[in-house]
Structure 1
Amino acid sequence: MRRSSVLPLAGVVVLALGAPALAQDGRRIAVSEALQGELTARDPAAEDGARYDGYRFQARAGERVAITLESDSFDPVLVVGRQDRRSFDELARNDDAPGRGLNARLVFTAPEDGAYAIRATSLDEALGGYQLALASAPAAPAAAPLTLPANIAGQLQEGGAVNDDGAPAAFYSFSGRVGQHLAITLKSSDFDAYLVLRGADGSEALDEDDDGAGEGTDARISHTLEADGDYVIEARALSAEDVGRYRLQVEETPPPPEPTPAVFGQAVEGEIADADAQADNGAHYDAYRFSGTEGQRVQAVLRSGDFDAYLEIGSAEGAFEALASDDDGLGEGTDARLNLTLPSDGDYVIRAMPLGAEERGLYSLELTDRGPEPAPGVVVIGETARGTLSASDATTEEGAAFDAYRFQAKKDEKLQLTLVSNAFDAFLDVGRQAEGEPYESLATDDDGLSDTHARLSWTAPEDGGYVVRARSFGPNATGAYALTIERKP
């Protein structure tokens, strides 16, 4: 780490050449201090391999500081965090500050009293000279108070309030309570909406979203508050240069109701209505619960003449998180079909919903137990295996049906695999799969023989057993096929 002196600025203390270097967490830098430095190949490397110079400063809880990093030699990146002898905990980062070209600027609010570390680094691992400055930051922009529920029409304007990155933004504050579930939606026809939810001190983003309100560029945050207290909503455009009109809606949503029990093999009819629970994207849904075992294959089919059907399946434990989803997998217009091999024993939840947040209407849902995945067959090199893909076969994550065959090959053995079918677009997939482990694809082919027939020339990387999947290119395709494996000279 080499540094030279810099011409003094008003109110700025300059670090002189030859100041003693500290450990990896860097030398001290105080508020209202500026310096010049240089990234070199001798500097320490971060986890991503980029060289950096380290600095440290003291701050009180809630203190706001502005840090700038400028360079003509590289694309500057600023990182702020906490450093101990063993690790670096990143708290904030900035690459290109609005209106500063490639230079970086970061306004940081200290969450607690103590020492903080600055890393001055580059985006592309380039090296060279730079200028770093630390200064007091102005107070956070004032936030307009709101009362829930809220429906506010506003406008971002040039020359108006800006966030810590210098982008036009509007700020709103409200009081919340622990366990309160909120839906915050920002809509605009003038810009790509972006939302951030923070604590009252603005030091940490609790949640943020770009296009979570379904189709289009509107933003939506669905968040359960973890503590009583004050919170701040930042409403802005995704692009730091965009301004225009917007509408902000904030409402408390009830906790999701208990899912309805689902029975394998029985179709249920329902209706998506305004009173139903809402997913994070704002779409209303009905939830169904079922029990399953590890390795069990289940299929859910959602049909509707009123809306574009969408399905999600997730664990019933804890907050819902989709393990798999489907939009138009049935291959018959906009109806959904979702196939999932359950990862463990337990209870699962199906969400039946429209793809769009504004859609409502009637639907039917059918849950099918497809049993365990069929065991692979065996094919001998030099022979042809004939079979038929059907709706009961195993399927890929994309919903394509396949039959699996095991075969043995020696290292560097050259093989030619051919799959022909007059019923579907043939697709070959060669890989390995140890017992209890996921399938690992090694080579694939779609139309190597003709427009719809597959042929794959492949060399075995080592002695052992392999699996070839004779499958359709896309979902909902079945029919007869012939698979041949031959040795090549």
Structure 2
Amino acid sequence: MKNSLFLACSLAALSLAASPSLAQVQGGPITIGRSVSVAVPDEGVDYVLELRAGQRIESVMRSSDIDSYQEIYLEGATDDALASNDDGFSDSVDSRLVFTPGEAGRYILRVGALGFQESGQATLEVNNAPAREARANRIAIGRTVNGRLGSRSAEDDEGNSFDLYRLRLDRGDRVAIRLKSDDFDPYLSVGQSRNGVYQELASNDDGEDLNSYLVFTAPETGEFDIRARSLAGSAEGRYAVSVENGPPRPVSLPLAIGEPVAGRIDDKSPQNMSGGRSVYYSLNVRAGESYEVALTSDDFDTYLEVFDAHDKSIAADDDSGGDLNSRLQLHPEEDAVYTVEARPLSSGVTGDFEIKVETVAPPPPPSSLAFNTKVDGEITDEDASAGSFRYDAYTVSLTEGQRVQVVMRSADFDSYLEIGRDAKPFETLAEDDDGLGQGLNARLLFEAPETGDYVIRARPFGDDRGAYDIELSDRGPDPKPGSVLVGSTIRSSLSDRDNTADGGAFFDDYVFQAKADEKLRFIMAAQGFDALVRVGQIRNGEFRELASDDDGLSDTHARLNWTAPREGEYVVRATSFAPNSTGEYILTVERQP
């Protein structure tokens, strides 16, 4: 915690209090069809684009100084890029981003070096790029069409060439589609276009050797698009696409609750939607009850998938049963008949298996977990079950932005913590295994995204039993960066109420100003932990390191000589080399002699 600064540091805090946080350089609006020269700084440049829904654009950025990189965002939502590109050309590190907006609005085109840690000169040009028209060829059940991927084929936003075939189906129609080629590795996709944007519903790469095969059941009556392309995306060559009546729905064997059923996968087993072999079972479920399905085999790596009456996948699992076996839970909201598919993870594998379904007792209501009170618990065979483990649940009410810490210790098993919303089914928002840094004990740090009730699950990492204790504490408000003047020394300490880096180390941040080419030295000494000093900048709320040192002064003390690349605002981060370290430290920022 930053609890004692020199007077000079306090003055620095006042002088910098009104400074805006660092962000990408604002390049302003960009005119479509005009090339611009860009002096790319480390943090990149943001340009504004006004786009119409369905207006396909191509942005090309070329540079001999940097590996160019582009991202595009909806204005005001710059957390998740809608599209990005690094090396859009096969013969260079220049970038080519193709984007089709699903809605009209203002978009942010962010350009820079890959990683946003280099600077240089570049040219940028944004043009309208109407897609090569995907001329829809009609195809019907029972027909085979020969075609050729080439310069006349359409192109999607990822640069994949494809030919388009349109097929009309009624709800529930079941078809088998094949794509064969001796010239390239075929890739088959089925979907629908809505508002000019293609939405894939099913796809297959190697259903039959290197050829594509899939069985598709129409979820509604309408027109469906079949895209024939190569897995590589840009390959050319001849192919044949065919549509046939799909194989009848495989006979589903009855699956009774509580009775294990033996089965076998061989070349006579029903063919699944991707051309592999499976065995299908029907399972009657009732609303409000919970079920656990387990698939085990000594002969192959198992895979479980469950479908509703419309062939929509509602649950799937590979290895939750341990030892390459599968296990999943179902929580139906209405009475229904589910189809359970049992198969090997890899096609072409045969062998015996066993499948079993059991009802799962509803878990007891979570216990209330008070702050700053250590609670003793025990994982037993009578506890609630979720997949391959049993758990105890605790509930806590949090306000938006509240930061909490949960610590779980056990001498009997490897502790594991999860936190999620108070809802069914449980959705994990954060989890931890060995975050306490003391053996196999867990420490979960969490910041509530909104006000409400949350559930904490205390459990073993595996299927163990035993005693544990758990404690919840409030970490207080989010610490804000302090400030430091060049020539000042800070005496402070790291504690478990500080911010935490991804690796679990606590840290304090201090903002300082530096001139271009100014040579600075950072010295950090600590008696209770291995000191680590890092220098960087905050970009979009994230720390981007420019330099760091661990043992430059001694085995546990840090000394970093650093030259500012340009005038601006920087951050020195006082932290530890190992996670969970706390204790006092001294940090000095000075000019190099």
Matched, 1:253 2:363: no
Among candidates 159, 170, 173, match of residue 49 of structure 1:
159
Q: 1:46 to 1:224 in 2, by over 3 A?
A: farther
Which residue of the partner structure matches residue 89 of structure 1? 199
Q: Give the superposition deviation at 1:81.
A: 1.0
Among candidates 559, 565, 570, match of residue 466 of structure 1:
570
Give matches, 1:336-415, under 5 Å. 336-356=442-462, 358-410=463-515
Give matches, 1:204-215, under 5 Å. 204-213=312-321, 215=322
Query: For the aligned residues, what is the CA RMSD?
Result: 2.9
Which residue of the partner structure matches residue 190 of structure 1? 299
Write the distance in 1 (CA, Å) between the matches of 2:566 and 2:288.
56
Cα deviation digits, residues 90-131 of structure 1 (max 9, x gap) = 11011122x412x21111112232221101122222231222
Q: 1:463 to 1:180 in 2, by over 3 A?
A: farther
Cα deviation digits, residues 228-254 of structure 1 (max 9, x gap) = 322111111111132323232212223
Write the distance in 2 (CA, Å) between the matches of 1:282 and 1:360.
12
- Contact 2:257 2:356 (C-alpha < 8 Å) held by counterparts: no
Matched, 1:64 2:174: yes
Which residue of the partner structure matches residue 118 of structure 1? 226
Q: Give the superposition deviation at 1:382.
A: 4.0
Write the distance in 1 (CA, Å) between the matches of 2:275 and 2:412.
45
Amino acid at match of 1:469: R
- Contact 1:73 1:126 (C-alpha < 8 Å) held by counterparts: no
Q: Give the superposition deviation at 1:343.
A: 2.9
Aligned residue pairs: how many?
A: 460
Write the distance in 2 (CA, Å) between the matches of 1:459 and 1:119.
54
Percent of aligned pairs with the same amino acid: 46
Q: Secondary structure at the match of 1:371?
A: coil
Q: 1:169 to 1:339 in 2, by over 3 A?
A: same
Q: 1:50 to 1:290 in 2, by over 3 A?
A: same
Matched, 1:478 2:582: yes
Q: Give the superposition deviation at 1:182.
A: 2.3
Amino acid at match of 1:68: R
Q: Give the superposition deviation at 1:432.
A: 4.3
Cα deviation digits, residues 165-195 of structure 1 (max 9, x gap) = 2323221111223343322222223322211
Matched, 1:31 2:138: no
Give matches, 1:278-317, under 5 Å. 278-279=385-386, 281-316=387-422
Q: 1:72 to 1:480 in 2, by over 3 A?
A: farther
Write the distance in 2 (CA, Å) between the matches of 1:317 and 1:411.
53
Amino acid at match of 1:473: F
Q: Secondary structure at the match of 2:155?
A: coil
Amino acid at match of 2:490: A
Q: 1:378 to 1:163 in 2, by over 3 A?
A: same
Matched, 1:128 2:236: yes
Q: Give the superposition deviation at 1:342.
A: 2.8
Q: Give the superposition deviation at 1:401.
A: 1.4
Among candidates 157, 160, 167, match of residue 269 of structure 2:
160
Q: Give the superposition deviation at 1:196.
A: 0.6
Cα deviation digits, residues 285-334 of structure 1 (max 9, x gap) = 11111122333321111122222211112233564322221112222222
Amino acid at match of 2:569: G
TM superposition score normalised by structure 2? 0.71
- Contact 1:25 1:56 (C-alpha < 8 Å) held by counterparts: no
- Contact 1:401 1:478 (C-alpha < 8 Å) held by counterparts: yes
Cα deviation digits, residues 133-167 of structure 1 (max 9, x gap) = 22222212211111223422333234433323232
Write the distance in 1 (CA, Å) between the matches of 2:306 and 2:517.
57
Among candidates 211, 221, 224, match of residue 331 of structure 2:
224
Q: Give the superposition deviation at 1:370.
A: 2.2
Amino acid at match of 1:247: E
Which residue of the partner structure matches residue 137 of structure 1? 246
- Contact 2:133 2:154 (C-alpha < 8 Å) held by counterparts: no
Among candidates 210, 214, 217, match of residue 109 of structure 1:
217
Write the distance in 2 (CA, Å) between the matches of 1:119 and 1:275.
52
Q: Give the superposition deviation at 1:395.
A: 2.0
- Contact 1:429 1:441 (C-alpha < 8 Å) held by counterparts: no
Write the distance in 2 (CA, Å) between the matches of 1:33 and 1:441.
57
Which residue of the partner structure matches residue 16 of structure 1? none
Q: Give the superposition deviation at 1:375.
A: 3.1
Q: 1:113 to 1:293 in 2, by over 3 A?
A: closer
Q: 1:415 to 1:346 in 2, by over 3 A?
A: farther
Write the distance in 2 (CA, Å) between the matches of 1:169 and 1:414.
67
Which structure 2 residue ranges, 5 or more long, are not aligned? Answer: 1-131
Which residue of the partner structure matches residue 190 of structure 2? 80
Q: 1:186 to 1:416 in 2, by over 3 A?
A: farther
TM superposition score normalised by structure 1? 0.85
Q: Give the superposition deviation at 1:60.
A: 2.5
- Contact 1:268 1:366 (C-alpha < 8 Å) held by counterparts: yes
Which residue of the partner structure matches residue 174 of structure 1? 283
Q: Give the superposition deviation at 1:359.
A: 1.4
- Contact 2:486 2:590 (C-alpha < 8 Å) held by counterparts: yes
Write the distance in 2 (CA, Å) between the matches of 1:227 and 1:444.
57
Q: Which range moves more in the overlay, 162-171 or 346-355?
A: 162-171
Which residue of the partner structure matches residue 100 of structure 2? none
Q: Give the superposition deviation at 1:77.
A: 1.1
Matched, 1:335 2:441: yes
Cα deviation digits, residues 380-425 of structure 1 (max 9, x gap) = 2344434332344332243211122122234665655454545434
Cα deviation digits, residues 194-225 of structure 1 (max 9, x gap) = 11101245x32122122233x54222222322
